[in-house]
């Protein structure tokens, strides 16, 4: 795994550049990402390019032996451009423009803006495409950041009508597919259809779902435009994008078909603070991040690219200290920057790059840590990077093999659930995370894969929910002898988000008679046990075999041959019990890890990580392990500690 950093030469006096580059190389970094927000310096006025400074920056980095990932600057269109076509601004769901003064103030559907992007990307790709220091290109920056995928601008509305006409061909077909007879919502022409927002009450769910699908396709098309230009001007270089954490507003699998590798931006402390983790979890992991946050995304993004690029991924931005954007922004526990980096290596990352080289003393992100302080003194993360840079030289990390467990992830499933949650806390990203986390607490390695991914070779396959079950996927699953587990609501909807004539899991003889959502505090338990179901429960599978039955008599875990269906949302403890059963049934070796310990098995090694604030004794979990076996670390693993030893994979 290579190490790198994000650098903004335009933020610093040129007198600092040579020293910065030399210090990066000394630290053990070999990659630098630059350029992604520099449009106003590259093209200060319409059509007047100023390449001289960027040429010198590229040369300076190259002279220090660094390789460059060049970002296209399309996340930050300059003021003159916005003023030249004010209708390029995105319009939010309340009908308000997303104005100039920060970033991402554009609508993906605006044709004029797309043409301007094509122009600036072509100019950059022609200038640097064959430069020997350019190793890769990053398109734009974090598509969707600051909630920018859904826009209801005129350009988007027009694009949506065309998208609908392509999909349904006739307006009659659309009216039938959506069920527009309800509340007299029938249309006579595609031209009559608006984006499904600003309605009096809830808009038609099929309309909302199609708008999400359309908006997602717009992001992919916007990206593909840049990729094509870069590929023709910069042969042999990787093209990547930096995706975000817990962000599902567009289909990353679809977009990634055009990329060579997927990368993501890892801010474990910010994510813990900003998302739906419980107060107990926030308190326990304030300075470490929940033990599965980074790993979940590593495994998700490892599953993005396919074919020759299968399992190619990296971390484009790694949190190096406190961030500026969460409600509270604590400092990581000493050692966490190194631990997060090792966790990326253990999941097969090609590189881990820190955001950012030096903390900037001005503008929006002045409170965000870098590897250096604004006065150029090393910040606490710096020494940890130095340590891992040395350690990496001595550990062979070549294998990035398939795991034995697959978790099927679908963006479309997320949009269905979000469009029609039925219970306020039925959240797709949390459901998939909880299922993943339960597997990881058993020491299992997991591949998070799309509904299209090859599934051969997995022993256990879990799908937390797929409201619409694709017929092809069912056929593929029926051919496998893996243990297969579906979560609640799987198969409950048609492709257009209505109730299907036949339940998607009818091949299991599954019938669902009723569903209910449970408000916080309302739980249904297993008999004589503290284990409960919360949030969601179904009356399902009457007459079928059930491995777990609630005290009220309802089936929780319905079984038919190697297929299983979980008819509710188990609490975290019950979920772990269920996953343990499934894994054992699938013939997998499981560990009962202490809550703060996680392991990964790759490259003929076990990597162990202590996400807790207390030391852990590894011999409690690995009784055979001797101190002399360890390549890195000790049997007593301190808080934020990493241990690595040679071991063949269990399963």
Catalytic residue among 43, 142, 218, 391: 142
- Cβ proximity to ligand GAL: between 368 and 535 the closer is 368
Using CA atoms of 566, 572, 575, 581 in order, give the dihedral in degrees to the nearest 10: -170
In angstroms, give the least distance from the CB of 2 to ligand GAL: 19
Interacting residue ranges for ligand GAL, rule: CB under 6 A: 141-142, 145, 265, 267, 317, 323, 325, 355, 365, 368
User: Whole-number minimum distance, CB 265 to ligand GAL, in Å?
Assistant: 5
Q: What is the 3-state secondary structure (H, E, C) of 358-375?
A: ECCCCCCCCCCCCCECCC
Which of 274/450 has CB closer to ligand GAL?
A: 274
Nearest distance from residue 476's CB to ligand GAL, in Å? 36
C-beta closer to ligand GAL: residue 315 or 642: 315
> What sign has the CA pseudo-torsion 416, 419, 422, 428?
positive
**Cα separation of 512 and 192, whole Å?**
37
Return the HEC string of 10-65.
Answer: HHCCHHHHHHHHHHHHHHCCCEEEECCCCHHHHCCECCECCCHHHHHHHHHHHHCC
Identify which of residues 364 and 529 has a Cβ nearer to ligand GAL in the complex.
364
The residue sitting closest to ligand GAL, measured at its beta carbon, is 142
Cβ proximity to ligand GAL: between 268 and 612 the closer is: 268
Backbone angles phi, psi at 67, to 5 degrees: -100, 150
- Whole-angstrom CA distances from 174 to 179, 185, 204, 424, 496 are 8, 11, 13, 29, 10
Tokens of 165: 């006409």
How far apart are CB 38 and ligand GAL at their closest, in Å?
12
Based on the residue annotation, tell me whether 142 is a catalytic residue of this protein.
yes
Q: Which is nearer to ligand GAL, 103 or 523 (CB)?
A: 103
What are the residues whose beta carbons fall under 8 Å from the beta carbon of 610, sequence distance 6 or more?
339, 596, 597, 616, 637, 638, 639, 640, 641, 642
Distance CA 512, CA 567 (A): 9
Q: Smallest distance from the beta carbon of 59 to ligand GAL, in angstroms?
A: 24
| Pairing status of strand 545-546 against strand 557-560 | antiparallel
The H or E element spanning position 2 is: strand 2-6
Taking the complex as a whole, the smallest distance from the CB of residue 61 to ligand GAL amounts, in Å, to 19
Cβ(126)–Cβ(232) below 8 Å: no
Active site residue 186: no
Residues 331, 369: Cα–Cα separation, whole Å: 9
Nearer to ligand GAL, 258 or 317 (CB): 317
Catalytic residue among 43, 116, 218, 317: 317
Q: Which residue matches tokens 């940890």?
A: 384
> Smallest distance from the beta carbon of 315 to ligand GAL, in angstroms?
12
Which residues form the catalytic set?
Answer: 142, 317
């Amino acid at each position: 795994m290579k190490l790198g950093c994000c650098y903004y030469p335009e933020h610093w006096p040129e007198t600092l550049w040579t020293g910065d580059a030399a210090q990066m190389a000394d630290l053990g970094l070999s990659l630098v990402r630059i350029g992604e927000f520099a449009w106003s310096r590259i093209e200060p006025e319409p059509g007047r390019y100023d390449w001289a400074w960027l040429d010198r920056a590229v040369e300076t980095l190259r002279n220090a032996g660094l390789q460059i990932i060049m970002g296209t600057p399309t996340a930050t269109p300059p003021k003159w451009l916005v003023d030249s076509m004010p209708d390029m601004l995105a319009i939010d769901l309340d009908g308000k423009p997303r104005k100039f003064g920060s970033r991402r103030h554009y609508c993906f559907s605006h044709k004029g803006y797309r043409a301007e992007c094509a122009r600036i990307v072509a100019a950059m790709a022609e200038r640097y495409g064959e430069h020997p220091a350019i190793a890769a290109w990053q398109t734009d920056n974090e598509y969707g950041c600051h909630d920018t995928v859904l826009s209801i601008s005129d350009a988007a509305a027009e694009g949506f009508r065309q998208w609908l006409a392509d999909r349904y061909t006739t307006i009659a077909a659309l009216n039938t597919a959506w069920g527009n007879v309800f509340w007299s919502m029938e249309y006579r022409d595609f031209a009559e259809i608006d984006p499904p927002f600003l309605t009096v009450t809830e808009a038609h769910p099929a309309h909302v779902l199609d708008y999400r699908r359309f908006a997602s396709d717009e992001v992919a098309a916007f990206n593909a435009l840049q990729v094509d230009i870069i590929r023709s001007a910069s042969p042999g270089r990787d093209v990547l994008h930096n995706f975000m954490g817990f962000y599902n507003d567009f289909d990353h699998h679809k977009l990634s078909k055009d990329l060579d590798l997927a990368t993501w931006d890892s801010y474990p402390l910010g994510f813990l603070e900003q998302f739906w983790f419980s107060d107990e979890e926030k308190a326990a992991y304030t300075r470490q991040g929940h033990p599965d946050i980074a790993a979940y995304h590593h495994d998700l993004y490892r599953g993005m690219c396919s074919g020759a690029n299968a399992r190619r991924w990296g971390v484009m931005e790694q949190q190096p200290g406190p961030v500026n954007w969460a409600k509270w922004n604590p400092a990581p526990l000493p050692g966490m920057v190194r631990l997060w980096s090792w966790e990326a290596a253990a999941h097969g990352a090609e590189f881990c790059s820190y955001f950012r080289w030096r903390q900037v003393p001005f503008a929006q992100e002045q409170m965000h840590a870098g590897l250096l302080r604004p006065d150029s003194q090393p910040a606490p993360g710096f020494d940890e990077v130095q340590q891992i840079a040395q350690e990496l030289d001595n550990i062979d990390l070549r294998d990035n093999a398939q795991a034995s467990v697959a978790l099927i992830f679908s963006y479309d499933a997320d949009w269905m659930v979000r469009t029609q949650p039925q219970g306020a806390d039925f959240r797709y990203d949390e459901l998939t995370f909880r299922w993943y986390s339960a597997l990881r607490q058993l020491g299992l390695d997991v591949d998070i894969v799309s509904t299209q991914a090859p599934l051969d070779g997995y022993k256990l396959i879990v799908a937390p929910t797929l409201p619409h079950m694709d017929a092809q996927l069912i056929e593929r699953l029926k051919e496998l002898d893996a243990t297969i587990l579906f979560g609640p609501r799987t198969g409950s909807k048609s492709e257009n988000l209505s109730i299907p004539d036949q339940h998607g899991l009818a091949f299991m003889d599954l019938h669902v008679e009723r569903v209910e959502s449970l408000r916080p505090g309302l739980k249904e338990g297993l008999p004589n046990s503290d284990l409960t179901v919360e949030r969601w429960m179904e009356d399902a599978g009457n007459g079928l075999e059930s491995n777990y039955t609630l005290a009220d008599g309802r089936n929780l875990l319905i079984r038919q041959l190697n297929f299983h269906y979980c008819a509710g949302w188990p609490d975290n403890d019950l979920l772990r019990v269920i996953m343990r059963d499934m894994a054992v049934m699938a013939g997998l070796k499981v560990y009962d890890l202490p809550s703060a310990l996680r392991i990964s098995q790759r490259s003929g090694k076990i990597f162990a990580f202590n996400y807790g604030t207390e030391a852990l004794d590894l011999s409690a979990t690995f009784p055979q392990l001797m101190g002399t076996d360890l390549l890195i670390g000790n049997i007593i693993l301190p808080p934020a500690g990493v241990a690595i030893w040679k071991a063949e994979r269990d399963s």
